[in-house]
Structure 1
């Protein structure tokens, strides 16, 4: 049996690092029971909640910890990340600025700052934050990955490519590096190179639906729609509730002039997001004017039927 709060803290951290967040949470609660005025207990509690994707509870825990250690940069860093996970990027930014004020020589503060700016679509500022971060930790592959993504968001694909190459140099066994590399090549319309990058990434993470999605799109850009369909089918097999998989599948079928299959793929998205407004645009690209025309082509599609009934009811109100 554990004797004190330090031992519970060590074990909670070990559980969290091994992904056993429920057990980490149990120990976190025990710590704050034994030592309710110790900041590290609330840090452990927050980490466990964050691992369980209970971000609001994590934020409450970090806030409580800051009451006992208001200058603790670790707590601000963890809370900034939790805010970002909730899409509260303005609050994430506030905490990130506090981190770099407290610890201007700590690379993770600039990582949080860059992530918050990226979430706010302020990519130039994100890049500046990542640049400072890289100065402090030039061998950290995560930093190059973040900056590569921001460059790509700005359409600066040559710079994104440079960072992508640096990632795979530093971590040749990391799938995300090849994803960044592929995105940069795709942005430069070098689709064959992009496909090679995604293929390499899949060697290290063969169940990664993001890689299949990006490769499916690259195949479609080359007019290789049969291969695009194969990858799209793999996406929906791996992630059946992910909207983008059905979008890729619909686009691939559309490229093959298989209108019926394309409509069924696009309308699968409506099952997860009934308010999706892109359906009409997708169908329109196939010279199908509206949902009524789509229903004539695929009368057995219950999602289209239901969607049209809902639209009619709204129109009558």
Structure 2
């Protein structure tokens, strides 16, 4: 049997579908007559199909093509070998050549489609898959799923680019070619989620689960959609199922932890977030979320540690700098808070609230001009940011720019007419300017909005006191004490009012309560001693004045009053010493 006969025998059973042969037979063909292109083709085919030695196959097929540039089968198999070696561009070039020689070779369209698919050129892949069916309609059933996959991947690419509507249309086309691809429903559900169409997302994820109940991501993604709709029970159920199927699915623990946090079930939230961090210690968001819970639980150092870890993992998390700044401000670490706020502003130079927060920190540090500059910048970015008007009003009042304070509080009231603190603060500024009627109106309005606003009662009490309406002041101080019975200042102020009414017994009672709450305030010891003096209880007065001078040894009025008390008690020498100290202090003043 000659070489041609051998070739024909091999060709008859070794073309793309069921072509077989023996390497020994090819060798018989190629050894005696190596110049035959067909022999190199046969050997290349065997190296491809049986031995998977694609590099050697390409070498033989190159020889075949050199001997016969019109040998379509050689290009075909070389394209296949290149495809198997991930040289998709080379494979496409070979399949182009095959089809130029013979446009009816079905496999060339199909494998070129596969190569296009591998390169992400889904439109070209789809065109070739459809050509495959046109050339050989009997392959339609088998090719439909390939076409669907091509549309699916094209849709995934469109979604990644943010072309959501076109992606949905493409996924729909994929399902027209093959309506049972779970991945298509899953991806379309994710796109619906990104569009905020959560019910459609849930429907697609449910269809995904029907087609493939073991697909973990489908439960996870459906849970996300339920969460977005506020259906926390359904979301938790989906995350539970996700964890049942994959106990190492860190994101499911994280998401369930977030829901528990929103439901204020902080112990369960911490358990989930701890597990999420254990499974994925590189998840900055998990540390951030745990930090938020620790902050709520007033575990400030733990929260700072979590925020710091999140920022170490991802230094671009601008809001986390803001979270950490807020805690540092609460614990009195204003320099640290300022440093964090600077980072927030650097990362988000157009974030108005960032400037507002930095302004507040600067205000606490006494940098009033810097605070005003930041409040100004915040308002330039957002002219309706009430927090900036409110904070700037406080700075203006501190600087005794009462007109500026009134203007800013008025702006707050314009945007938030039910914000009681701004009425109270505007009332304070008006009172400082002598607008007593306007001040009283503002205090009254603040309390009409919020009957529990302690500051309004306190400041209205001062207003009454200044107007010598001492009974009115006592009523307001009493209401303030009901709201905060642990405030030494409130008892002290009410005691002063009783003293003004010459009600010394009630004054002594309130000074005593103030001293119990804050025994280091010299003024209360002095004032109680003064009250005892009015009642001619000189021993008690002397004891209180001694205590007052222990806490404030440079109080000229206390020495003067103690001199009077000592004189009443017959201690003339002591009285003279106190008068000398009074004279020295008074002269130095």
Give the TM-score band, short-chain normalised.
Answer: 0.7 to 0.9
Tell which deviates more after alignment, 109-118 or 151-160: 109-118
Q: Structure 1 residues 73, 183: closer, same or farther in 2, change over 3 A?
A: farther
2:475 to 273, 290, 293: 290
Instruction: Indicate yes or no: 2:445 matched with 1:264.
Output: yes
Residues 8-157 of structure 1 mapped to structure 2, 5 A cutoff: 8-15=188-195, 20=196, 23-35=197-209, 37=213, 38-51=215-228, 58-59=235-236, 61-157=238-334
Matches within 5 A, 1:274-313: 276=452, 278=454, 280-287=457-464, 288-290=473-475
1:185 to 343, 357, 362: 362
Match of 2:534 in 1: none
Matches of 1:199 and 1:172, distance apart in 2: 14
Shift of residue 93, structure 1, vs aligned partner: 2.5
1: distance between equivalents of 2:322 and 2:199? 31
Alignment of 1:246 with 2:436, yes or no, is no
Counterpart contact for 1:152–1:183, Cα < 8 Å: no
CA change 1:175–1:6 in 2 (3 A) is same
What SS does structure 2 have at the residue aligned with 1:35? helix
**Whole-angstrom distance in 2 between the partners of 1:194 and 1:214:** 9
1:75 aligned counterpart, secondary structure:
helix
After TM superposition, give the deviation of residue 31 of structure 1 in Å: 1.5
For 1:209-255, what per-residue CA distance to the aligned partner results, in whole angstroms no more than 9, with x for missing partners? 333333333333333343334333433443455xxx22122122223
Measure, in 2, the Cα distance between the counterparts of 1:33 and 1:155.
54
Q: Which residue of 1 aligns with 2:482?
A: none
Cα pair distance change 1:261/1:277, threshold 3 Å: closer
For residues 56 and 205 of structure 1, what CA distance do their matches in structure 2 show? 38
* Aligned counterparts of 1:106 and 1:199: Cα–Cα separation in 2: 37
Q: Does 1:210 align with 2:384?
A: no
Unaligned stretches of 5+ residues in structure 1: 271-275, 295-317
How many residues end up aligned between the 2 structures? 280
Classify the secondary structure of the residue corresponding to 2:450.
Answer: helix
2-structure distance, mates of 1:292, 1:139 = 49
CA deviation string 1:60-82 (max 9, x = no partner): 55445434443322233233333
**Distance 1:32-1:165 versus aligned 2 partners, 3 A rule:** same
Q: Is the 8 A contact 2:390 2:412 kept in 1?
A: yes
Question: Does the CA-based 8 Å contact 2:446-2:453 persist in structure 1?
Answer: no
Q: 151-160 or 172-181, which moves further after superposition?
A: 172-181
For 2:216 and 2:407, how far apart are their aligned partners in 1? Answer: 51
Change in CA separation of 1:135 and 1:219 when aligned onto 2, cut-off 3 Å: same
Shift of 1:291: 6.0
How far apart are the structure 1 equivalents of 2:372 and 2:241? 48
TM-score (norm 2): 0.43
Which residue of structure 2 lines up, in the alignment, with residue 303 of structure 1? none
| Contact 2:406/2:429 (8 A) holds in 1 | no
Distance in 2 separating the partners of 1:232 and 1:61 = 48
Structure 1 residues 213 and 52, CA, compared in 2 at 3 Å: closer, same or farther?
farther
Please say if residues 28 and 42 of structure 1, whose CA atoms lie closer than 8 Å, have aligned partners that are also in contact.
no
Closer, same or farther: CA 193–249 of 1 in aligned 2, 3 Å: farther
Structure with the bigger RCO (C-alpha within 8 Å, sep 6+) is: 1
Q: Within 2, Cα distance between the matches of 1:152 and 1:289? A: 35
The CA deviation string for residues 24-55 of structure 1, in whole angstroms up to 9 with x for no partner, is 24322441354165544444444445545565
* Structure 1 residues 27 and 201: alpha-carbon distance in aligned structure 2, compared to 1, 3 A threshold: same
Report deviation, 1:178.
1.3
Structure 1 residue 149: Cα displacement: 1.2
For residue 119 of structure 1, report the CA deviation from its aligned partner.
1.3
C-alpha distance in 2, partners of 1:237/1:120?
35
User: Aligned Cα RMSD in Å?
Assistant: 3.1
Once the 2 structures are TM-superposed, how far is the Cα of residue 135 of structure 1 from its aligned partner?
Answer: 1.4
Shift of 1:162: 0.9
- Cα distance 1:11–1:188, how it changes in 2: closer, same or farther (>3 A)? same
- Following superposition, the deviation at residue 104 of structure 1 comes to 0.9
Q: Which residue of 1 aligns with 2:559?
A: none
